[in-house]
């Protein structure tokens, strides 16, 4: 039996992430990864002791192993992507930015959300370097590339990979393409309209030319890709994630089951990338620094350890829940946004298996309707917070270290509540609700999302008309 108070350090960890960057007395102190690690270790220590004393030492080991696998993957992709750069004058226009996000949504299902985010976030940052308003672009990159784009294959997001290991066919998630298209299309339309409005509402930050606008470079000339050999190392990491076993992989026996083969391959690819990359690409063009990955490593060691009791509590009580498709989706998604989405998926996967009845379509022993709800909840809702999915916090850190003003933890939730939550609510009602009136409400909500985007876009057209009156302001936040 797990006592509720064992989850208090996890709540304290979330509060530290949310509050300390906002308080003037602790803001600069918290920005140091060493201090972040200190807080994480202080909060993790009592959790480790409590778990061992209450007979759950394996939970501590499991949390540390998962953290190691998580951070090695992020580190490998971060290092390799740092050696790839887009050169030339790539215009950071609304059309270009939306196209990059759309490409990222497609790549996320092929090379994973982390891979797509790390590969393209610097492209977005460099192409929009001269623009004053860039925060919204990074936030929507987290929505689309780091989360919602990764629904179509088990390679896209760790929860889906866990599902494949539990017997879900590799191609089953391809059948979720209408879900993927609905959510990502609404997000991309919203982004394009918002970016169009913001690109015409202010000038370059610090641009000596007073006639310039917030549209990035004025043209696209001699665009190319530098560091192409790193594509090989990138592909090697994706292949390692897909086929190379690691500690805890089902079917691994004997001493081989204790060797992190996958992580060794990832570190080897990262090392070869570091050795073979041109210094000019990595440091001059991409402004590479290890600071973002240090911050992620420091914060997430505390998250992984302190949330272990929360998952034990979830395992104890989830079986008593009676959930339909909508409640299963919302609960899976809500918990995935504050817990690791992979174990959350696994927990509700087992709950759904226990509720399987006769006369219904089963996939890996799970009612297909519930599996859709669990899969989309774990993938889509991971974008609601910085800690909902691994690449979220890393994308944020990369942007911060390239001088993009990013919202704090609670501020980001405000962004996602404003721009992402209406899309997810519309999706939930249209695709998962069983009653006609709920689906009708979902369709109306989706139309309202498009109407809001259209009104924002209309403002962007309005301000370009000579002699037009000043339209109402559009806030980036």
Please, which residues have CB within 8 angstroms of residue 396's CB and are 6 or more apart in sequence?
138, 142, 386, 406, 412
3-state secondary structure of 133: coil
pLDDT at residue 140 in the model: 97
pLDDT at residue 358 in the model: 62
| Predicted TM-score (pTM) of this structure | 0.84
pLDDT at residue 319 in the model: 65
Long-range interactions of 452-458: CB distance < 8 A, separation 24+: 452/190, 453/189, 453/190, 453/192, 453/193, 453/194, 454/193, 456/193, 456/194, 456/196, 456/197, 457/192, 457/193, 457/196, 457/197
Measured distance CA(286)–CA(80) in Å, rounded: 12
pLDDT at residue 202 in the model: 42
Task: Give the helix, strand, coil percentages of the chain, each rounded to 5.
Answer: 70, 5, 30
CA distances to 248, 373, 379, 391 from 141, rounded to whole Å, are 32, 23, 15, 10
Q: What are the start-end ranges of the E strands in 270-354?
A: none
pLDDT, one tens digit for every residue, the chain (477 residues): 778 889 899 999 989 988 888 888 898 999 899 999 999 999 999 999 999 999 999 999 989 998 998 899 889 989 998 898 877 667 889 999 999 999 999 999 988 898 889 889 988 998 898 888 899 999 999 999 999 999 999 988 888 988 887 888 988 999 999 999 999 999 999 999 999 998 865 433 333 333 344 544 444 456 778 888 899 998 999 899 888 888 877 777 778 888 999 999 999 999 999 999 988 888 988 888 898 899 989 998 999 899 889 888 877 776 677 778 999 999 999 999 987 788 888 888 888 887 766 667 888 888 999 999 999 999 999 999 998 888 998 999 999 988 899 999 999 999 999 999 999 999 999 999 999 999 999 999 999 999 999 999 887 665 444 444 444 555 565
Please, which residues have CB within 8 angstroms of residue 139's CB and are 6 or more apart in sequence?
407, 412, 415, 416, 419
pLDDT at residue 213 in the model: 47
Please, which residues have CB within 8 angstroms of residue 39's CB and are 6 or more apart in sequence?
13, 16, 20, 302
Is the separation of the CB atoms in 230 and 247 below 8 Å? no
Is the separation of the CB atoms in 156 and 149 below 8 Å? yes
Planar angle of CA 452, 337, 390, nearest 5 degrees: 105
Please, which residues have CB within 8 angstroms of residue 115's CB and are 6 or more apart in sequence?
77, 81, 107, 108, 234, 237, 238
Using alpha carbons, select from 255, 343, 345 the residue that is nearest to residue 67: 343
Please, which residues have CB within 8 angstroms of residue 297's CB and are 6 or more apart in sequence?
33, 37, 71, 75
Q: Is the dihedral of CA 50, 15, 400, 133 positive or negative?
A: positive
């Amino acid at each position: 039996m797990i006592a509720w108070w064992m989850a208090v350090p996890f709540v304290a960890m979330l509060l530290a992430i949310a509050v300390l960057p906002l308080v003037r007395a602790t803001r600069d102190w918290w920005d140091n990864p060493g201090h972040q690690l200190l807080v994480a270790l202080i909060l993790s220590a009592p959790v480790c002791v409590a778990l061992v004393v209450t007979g759950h030492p394996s939970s501590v080991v499991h949390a540390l192993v998962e953290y190691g696998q998580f951070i090695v993957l992020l580190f490998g992709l971060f290092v390799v992507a740092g050696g790839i750069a887009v050169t030339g004058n790539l215009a950071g226009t609304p059309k270009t930015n939306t196209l990059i996000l759309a490409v990222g949504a497609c790549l996320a299902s092929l090379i994973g959300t982390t891979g797509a985010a790390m590969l393209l976030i610097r492209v977005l940052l460099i192409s929009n370097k001269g623009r004053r308003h860039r925060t919204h672009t990074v936030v929507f990159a987290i929505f689309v590339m780091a989360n919602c784009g990764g629904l179509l294959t088990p390679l896209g997001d760790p929860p889906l990979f866990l599902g494949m290991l539990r017997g879900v066919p590799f191609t089953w998630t391809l059948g979720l393409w209408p879900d993927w298209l609905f959510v990502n299309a609404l997000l991309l339309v919203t982004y394009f309209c918002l970016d169009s409005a913001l690109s015409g509402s202010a000038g370059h930050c610090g641009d000596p030319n007073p006639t310039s606008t917030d549209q990035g470079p004025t043209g696209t000339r001699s665009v190319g890709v530098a560091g192409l050999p790193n594509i090989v190392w990138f592909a090697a990491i994706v292949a390692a994630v897909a086929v190379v076993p690691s500690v805890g992989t089902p079917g691994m026996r004997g001493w081989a089951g204790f060797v992190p083969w996958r992580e060794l391959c990832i570190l080897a690819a990262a090392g070869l990338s570091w050795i073979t990359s041109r210094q000019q690409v990595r440091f001059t063009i991409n402004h590479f620094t290890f600071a973002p990955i240090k911050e992620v490593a420091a914060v997430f060691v505390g998250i992984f350890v302190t949330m272990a009791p929360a998952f034990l509590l979830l395992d104890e009580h989830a079986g008593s829940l009676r959930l339909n498709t909508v409640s299963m989706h919302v609960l899976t998604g809500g918990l995935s946004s504050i817990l690791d989405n992979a174990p959350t998926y696994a927990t509700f996967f087992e709950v759904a298996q226990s509720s399987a009845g006769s006369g219904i379509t089963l996939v890996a022993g799970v009612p297909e309707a519930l599996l859709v709800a669990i899969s989309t909840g774990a993938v889509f809702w991971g974008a609601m917070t910085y800690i909902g999915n691994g690449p979220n916090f890393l994308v944020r850190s990369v942007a911060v270290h390239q001088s993009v003003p990013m919202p704090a933890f609670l501020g980001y939730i405000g962004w996602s509540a404003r721009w992402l939550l209406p899309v997810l609510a519309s999706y939930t009602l249209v695709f998962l609700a069983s009653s006609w009136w709920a689906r009708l409400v979902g369709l109306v909500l989706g139309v309202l999302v498009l109407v809001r985007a259209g009104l924002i876009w209309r403002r962007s057209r309005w301000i370009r008309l000579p002699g037009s009156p000043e339209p109402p302001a559009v806030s980036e936040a």
